[in-house]
Structure 1
Amino acid sequence: MSSSSDSPIDTPLFDHNVFSTSETQSEPRVDSRVGSDEIVPKIEEHELELADVKTEPTADDPPISPTEPVRLRRGRGRPRIYPPRSPTTSKNAKARSKTGCTTCRKRKKKCDETKPFCMSCQKNNIHCEGYRPIEVWKSGKERAAEARKMSSDVAFQLPPLMEGVENDLDRLLLQHFASRVSNVLSLHGDETNPFTRVLLPMALKHEGLMHSVLCLSASHLCSLNPSQAYEDRQAFHRGKALHLLNQDLARQKAGQEGTMIFEDSNVAQILVHLLHSICDGNTSGEYRMHMVAAKQIAMTQKSKDPEFQCLFDEFFYYHWIASEITSLDGTEVPMMDDFNLPFQVNPETAALIGVSDGLFGFISKISNLRRRIRSRIDNQLNPAMDYEALLAAHAIDTGLRGWVCPQAPNTPRYAVSMLYRQATWVYLYRTTKDSHPHPFIKAAVDDGIRYIKDLPADGAVQSNVLLPLFLLGCSAFEEAQRMEINFAFNGLMKSTGLGNIHFAKEVVDRIWELMDAEDPESWDWEKFIHSKGWDFLAT
């Protein structure tokens, strides 16, 4: 038997110590024991030797050595270029942000979370729906407690009982109209007041009229106690009232003769807006557009309700004639030959003094006479008091001297009615006489002041005092008379709170300055009011 060195069985197929790296990559080696013609195949290098591969330890096997690392089995396939990410890093990369905008979350796009609208949506010209509110986590016990609290705190709002009366402030305005405004605008201070007996029930059935009433009440409250809340509510109700009035008028149909027929509720709205210009103290002539509409109604139609028709006639003609005292744009009011108005009002139920007793018939005639004299002066015609004007003045004076007061003596109505008679004569004197002091005008003004003193300071009759007080004030040449006139103006402001009183007093103050300067134009206060750009009612 051959030696162990010559045995082919003991000879290894390859030796790691013999082959180097360079030899491995060279041509196949020829064994000396083999013929030169025999080719030995090339042996490929393996990454791991069989001897190096160890079985993977299990959980039950003890560790091989405390210092020897555990070798893990490498997965099959080609090795990764980069090492795999750790489980923590992979989880964070896959997590979706919950703070992005709603649009990006729906589109599954990354959001830059710019607020209030993200830039990503703006760059892509997409409507950004914004961000959801942050929800604070609450336990089930807390959510249940909140649900029980919300169910116990639910309070259902009651619908409005009356159309137009929407909140607590409106209810206050309605109460103020019934208890205070109605007394300021009428001689009646009880249940016989035409505003609470006739007009207010109509407002309860008509939303537009209710808004008009609340606007008037808010205006009066503003004059008594200026407040932004009252002003805002006044503007709101005024806008709603005018809007609904225009809607109603657009639906109205013309009568048989082609004239528009107005419903009583719309006529009442026009009357209330006319009174609103008085409470508001408006000097821009806003009342005139309502006056024109009311004039058309008075000349073309009559209401089926006699009480409302009487209320409308009395208040319209009163303010129409009174407007001639403070304006140059007056037009002659149609009168009968005996100075009476073209309708009848019972003096006992009348809401205003001057209309029911016929005194406003005289006042209207005096206003026509003033326009005639003013025209002759402007045209430099002499004399200013021509023959026709003299006859007209004589007829008015004769009628006033024969006038009999229809009110019961020793009553507030009697005192205010006699005050109107005195102021009417003063109006006639200042129209026809030169502007300088005289015993006649002094005596007439003194008597008028006595009637004012006889009136209760807080009574309903104060609603009729402004017009005669204005006429007496424009005729007071004496300093003592002016002190009494100032006192009466201050009391009237406190008792009524009407916004036009301040402007009437300013006109009187200016006329006093002209009187003291012996200006012959001091009789023509209408020109001064016109020069100021004012147009208001002294009622």
Structure 2
Amino acid sequence: MLLYTRLAPPKVPKRRSRAGCTFCKEKKKKCDENRPQCARCAERGIECTYEAVKPRQRRRKESQYSFIQDAQLLDDEKLDGCQWQDEDIDEFGDSNFGLLDDKFDDATIRTNLAPVTADDTVSPTSVAPHALNAAKDEKNISKSIVRRNSNNSLISGPRSRVSDLAVIAPRPVASPALEFCIPAFSEFSDRSNRRALVDHFCNVLSHLIVFREESGNPFQQLVLPLSYESTSVMNAIYALASAHLEYRGVGNAEKSIHFHNKAIQGLARLIEKGDRVNKNELLAAIMLLVYYEVLVQRGRSSIVDGHLKGALTIMGSSPDSSPAGLFLERAFRFYDVITALSLGTPPLSTAPAAGCLLPFPPLDAPPASPLSNVDSLLGMATTLWPIMHRLSNLLSLKAELGQALRMNQSSKVAVLRTEFETTSQAIEAALTQWKPCLPSNVTVQEGVLEVVEEEVSEKQRLQSILHNALAYRHSAFVYLYRTIYEYPPSHALVQKHAHTSLLHCVETVAHRGPMGALLWPLFVAACEAISEEDRALAKKAFVAIEMRQGMTNIEQAWGIIREVWKRLDLLNDYSMEGEDTDIWRQVSAEMGINIVFG
């Protein structure tokens, strides 16, 4: 019997580096992998870029694996035959997109980390709740969320092919020390199509709704962790992501309406818990459903208004000073005012006092950042928002005054007229005096931002955010003069502010910054566009934000604008005061739709 056996040392496997630069890979040359520029690229004076290294895959299902591999090779051959122009792709941060086949759910989650298994496909009629594989303790939650913030995303480098899911979002750069989880987003669901929806929410949608995320996206940091404990929040995320993909023509195994119904059912169960419910989970589910309704825009509906009433009631009963609570409150305040301006109804919340709305920064945001005065959801319009709140209440006050006049209630008319005139004049004066609060190291010279010791990309983002806020200011003037004062479209003040607002809208999209809150000022100004120049500006801005955002309400708003222009042209006289005030509301009513311009 052998009591001792000496094991032979294992053979050193021969490994070929897969971390070389793109140029060396294309030339099939050995790369020294020096960063930021290898020796071969430095010798030729060309740009040196590196792609994220993908882990090797194991074959589980031979037939499906080879089918995916062949499809990828076919796509690569198609790409090789196309003349891609960097300017066309980078203008809005993305390229064209393809359909999301059910068999390619895992392949479209930015990284092809795991092959598809046969049990990944789910019937749309299935109502079984999804399984969460990750531990639900706070440590694991924070760890997984930080790994998927805007700076550490599961996505390849700038020279890599754009994923089908990366429809319009800016593409973050991968970290060289990235911690992989195989398959991607497996802690949220064991179903590949649902993991694809989480990926779309994190890497596309969350970037489209915020202004500031230099240290992370608040939807990823504050909203996504709530889905670990709440299936209602998770289903609302699925519904929102699926609806956005469906609008873009990307199919999924389960429809957005299926997830929406599940989220509504879960929301009802949360409300039944009463005081035992986690109010942030409840508010997050409602907020995501508001975004869903705004995105889907299914005809004339008061669902958004009902969601907002419920959320404001919850917030009023027990204020929450946690970061998630403050962020959700800011989101509801934004939509409360936008909904009031869109539907002509009074806002549900009380007007915030001047100076009480401080910019809400992302978690761990550096205090010295040039974005320090930029709110995550309101941009540089934080100090403008109390004025916008009062402006949104004027139309209902005007309607109440008109009703009192028709009923010959003289005493009530006197009181309401005084209130109406005093409020409208105060709003006009406040809009005239308002200026955006710029960071300490930022100045404006002739409409152009000057940033001290910052990169060009940061300067462009700030420039876009500034133009967004100024577009709100000038469109607020247009709303005041046309809707409230009933000036004719040809009035000098109406045309002046409409033209200026359209210029700021075009500058917002030209600097490729956030466009999530641009629809209202663009729509209000475009309704009064009379000249061919202004209409060309409106069309340019609409095309840009539709490509970037991909929302139903943008397409419907553009359709209403074109019909308004036709009716204005038929009038042949733009000086008819009061005859065509808010003609867009008539068009919207005839089309049978209510658009929330958020």
Normalization by structure 2: what TM-score?
Answer: 0.57
In the alignment, the residues of structure 2 paired with residue 249 and residue 401 of structure 1 have an alpha-carbon distance, to the nearest angstrom, of 44
User: Per the alignment, in what secondary structure is the counterpart of residue 434 of structure 2?
Assistant: coil
Kindly provide the CA deviation profile for residues 428-482 of structure 1, in whole angstroms up to 9, marking residues without a partner as x.
Answer: 1212142230232222122222212222458451112111111111222223211
Give the aligned residue type for 2:310.
A
For structure 1, the 5+ residue unaligned runs are 1-153, 255-260
2:298 aligned partner: 282
1:174 Cα deviation (Å)? 0.6
Change (3 A) 1:475 1:205: same
1:217 Cα deviation (Å)? 0.6
In the alignment, the residues of structure 2 paired with residue 453 and residue 361 of structure 1 have an alpha-carbon distance, to the nearest angstrom, of 25
1:319 aligned partner: 335
Change (3 A) 1:368 1:245: closer
1:202 pairs with one of 195, 203, 226: 226
Kindly provide the CA deviation profile for residues 100-125 of structure 1, in whole angstroms up to 9, marking residues without a partner as x.
Answer: xxxxxxxxxxxxxxxxxxxxxxxxxx
Aligned counterparts, 1:369-384, within 5 A? 369-377=394-402
2:472 aligned partner: 420
User: Per the alignment, in what secondary structure is the counterpart of residue 288 of structure 1?
Assistant: helix
2:142 aligned partner: none
1:477 aligned partner: 530
1:293 aligned partner: 310
1:316 Cα deviation (Å)? 0.3
Alignment check: 8 A CA contact 1:326 1:529 kept? no
2:209 aligned partner: 185
Change (3 A) 1:526 1:300: farther
1:271 pairs with one of 261, 268, 287: 287
Change (3 A) 1:301 1:507: farther
User: Per the alignment, in what secondary structure is the counterpart of residue 468 of structure 1?
Assistant: helix
Alignment check: 8 A CA contact 1:470 1:508 kept? yes
Give the aligned residue type for 1:289.
G
Alignment check: 8 A CA contact 2:489 2:528 kept? no
2:146 aligned partner: none
Is the counterpart of residue 247 in structure 1 residue 263 in structure 2?
A: no
1:462 aligned partner: 515
Alignment check: 8 A CA contact 1:442 1:478 kept? no
Which deviates further from its counterpart, 370-379 or 198-207?
Answer: 370-379
1:523 aligned partner: 581
Is the counterpart of residue 363 in structure 1 residue 388 in structure 2?
A: yes
Alignment check: 8 A CA contact 1:327 1:529 kept? no
Aligned counterparts, 1:91-240, within 5 A? 161=133, 165-188=189-212, 190-227=214-251, 229=252, 232-240=254-262
Change (3 A) 1:448 1:159: closer
1:95 aligned partner: none
1:398 aligned partner: 429
In the alignment, the residues of structure 2 paired with residue 356 and residue 388 of structure 1 have an alpha-carbon distance, to the nearest angstrom, of 26
Give the aligned residue type for 1:369.
L
1:302 aligned partner: 319
In the alignment, the residues of structure 1 paired with residue 239 and residue 513 of structure 2 have an alpha-carbon distance, to the nearest angstrom, of 22
Alignment check: 8 A CA contact 1:184 1:462 kept? yes
The alignment covers a number of residue pairs equal to 375
In the alignment, the residues of structure 1 paired with residue 275 and residue 419 of structure 2 have an alpha-carbon distance, to the nearest angstrom, of 45
In the alignment, the residues of structure 2 paired with residue 414 and residue 343 of structure 1 have an alpha-carbon distance, to the nearest angstrom, of 18
Alignment check: 8 A CA contact 1:373 1:389 kept? yes
For structure 2, the 5+ residue unaligned runs are 1-116, 121-129, 135-186, 361-371, 450-461
| Regions of 4+ moved over 6 Å | 154-159, 382-385
Give the aligned residue type for 2:302.
G
Change (3 A) 1:499 1:333: same
2:564 pairs with one of 503, 508, 511: 511
Give the aligned residue type for 1:178.
C
User: Per the alignment, in what secondary structure is the counterpart of residue 425 of structure 2?
Assistant: helix
In the alignment, the residues of structure 2 paired with residue 214 and residue 156 of structure 1 have an alpha-carbon distance, to the nearest angstrom, of 19
Give the aligned residue type for 2:257.
A
Alignment check: 8 A CA contact 1:282 1:536 kept? no
RMSD of aligned alpha carbons:
3.1
Alignment check: 8 A CA contact 2:297 2:593 kept? no
Alignment check: 8 A CA contact 2:287 2:332 kept? yes
Alignment check: 8 A CA contact 2:467 2:504 kept? yes
In the alignment, the residues of structure 2 paired with residue 386 and residue 233 of structure 1 have an alpha-carbon distance, to the nearest angstrom, of 51
Change (3 A) 1:378 1:355: farther
Give the aligned residue type for 2:581.
W
In the alignment, the residues of structure 2 paired with residue 299 and residue 355 of structure 1 have an alpha-carbon distance, to the nearest angstrom, of 26
Change (3 A) 1:473 1:377: farther
In the alignment, the residues of structure 2 paired with residue 449 and residue 251 of structure 1 have an alpha-carbon distance, to the nearest angstrom, of 48
1:498 Cα deviation (Å)? 1.1
Kindly provide the CA deviation profile for residues 289-333 of structure 1, in whole angstroms up to 9, marking residues without a partner as x.
Answer: 21121121222222252x112211111011111111221443464
In the alignment, the residues of structure 2 paired with residue 469 and residue 421 of structure 1 have an alpha-carbon distance, to the nearest angstrom, of 11
1:507 Cα deviation (Å)? 2.8
